[in-house]
């Protein structure tokens, strides 16, 4: 009889088929996992691309804002320079013409600065009265400051 030979052959064939089926099932499961991973990666990629686009828009807005600020800053600097130049010209003109207003303005500024520095340690009204004795030229302002010091 040839039965044992067929039995061994059948067992080997079954084992090979079983192994092939296990590999096919494993391959199918791996394919499903890979497809799922691919979908997740695609979703992450789309999300990352959207974030990149949003960040690029935000960056462009910030660049535009910075450019506007720089432009405004330059305009303010130009206006400041023009104002300083006008003030220098005006002061020079007043001094050149011998206008007494410039002298009074300088004296007042120095006197008020002296009051601010000294008022930390002395009675304000005493300082103002002492200042008036120093031939302070702006009497209404001195009287007002004396009234504040009381």
- Which residues constitute the domain of residue 124? 100-150
Question: Tokens 């400051």 belong to which residue?
Answer: 145
DSSP string for 112-144: HHHHHHHTTTS-HHHHHHHHHHTT-S-HHHHHH
**Which of 44-53, 66-75, 96-105 is most confident?**
44-53
Does any domain span residue 81? no
Q: Is the per-residue pLDDT at 23 higher than 70?
A: yes
Between CA 116 and CA 129 the distance in angstroms is 14
- DSSP classification of residue 89: H
Query: Does residue 142 lie within any of the structural domains?
Result: yes
Report the run of H or E that residue 49 belongs to, with start and end.
helix 3-96
Q: How confident is the model at residue 48 (pLDDT cuts 50, 70, 90)?
A: very high
Flag whether 119 is in a domain: yes
Residue 57 is assigned to a structural domain of this protein: no
Instruction: Determine if the pTM surpasses 0.75.
Output: no
User: Is 76 within a domain?
Assistant: no
| C-beta separation of 127 from 118 below 8 A | yes
149 HSE (CA, 13 A, CB side):
20
Whether residue 25 lies inside any domain: the answer is no
Predicted confidence at residue 25, as pLDDT, reads: 95
Helix, strand, or coil here: 150? Answer: coil
Q: What are phi and psi of 87, to 5 degrees?
A: -65, -40
Per-residue pLDDT of 92-146, as tens digits, reads: 666 555 544 444 444 555 555 455 444 444 444 444 455 444 444 555 655 665 5
Per-residue confidence (pLDDT) for residue 85, from 0 to 100: 81
Q: What's the domain count of the chain?
A: 1
Q: Is the dihedral of CA 6, 7, 12, 15 positive or negative?
A: positive
Q: Is residue 87 part of a domain?
A: no
């Amino acid at each position: 009889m040839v039965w044992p030979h067929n039995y061994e052959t059948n067992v080997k064939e079954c084992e090979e088929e079983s192994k092939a089926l296990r590999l096919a099932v494993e391959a199918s499961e791996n394919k499903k996992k890979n497809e799922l991973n691919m979908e997740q990666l695609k979703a992450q990629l789309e999300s990352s691309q959207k974030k990149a686009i949003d960040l690029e828009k935000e960056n462009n807005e910030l660049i535009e804002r910075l450019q506007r600020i720089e432009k405004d800053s330059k305009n303010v600097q130009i206006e400041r320079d023009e104002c300083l130049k006008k003030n220098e010209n005006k002061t020079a003109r007043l001094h050149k013409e011998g206008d007494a207003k410039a002298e009074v303005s300088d004296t007042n500024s120095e006197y008020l600065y002296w009051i601010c520095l000294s008022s930390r340690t002395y009675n304000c009204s005493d300082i103002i009265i002492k200042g008036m004795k120093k031939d302070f030229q702006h009497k209404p302002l001195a009287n007002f400051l004396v009234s504040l010091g009381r």
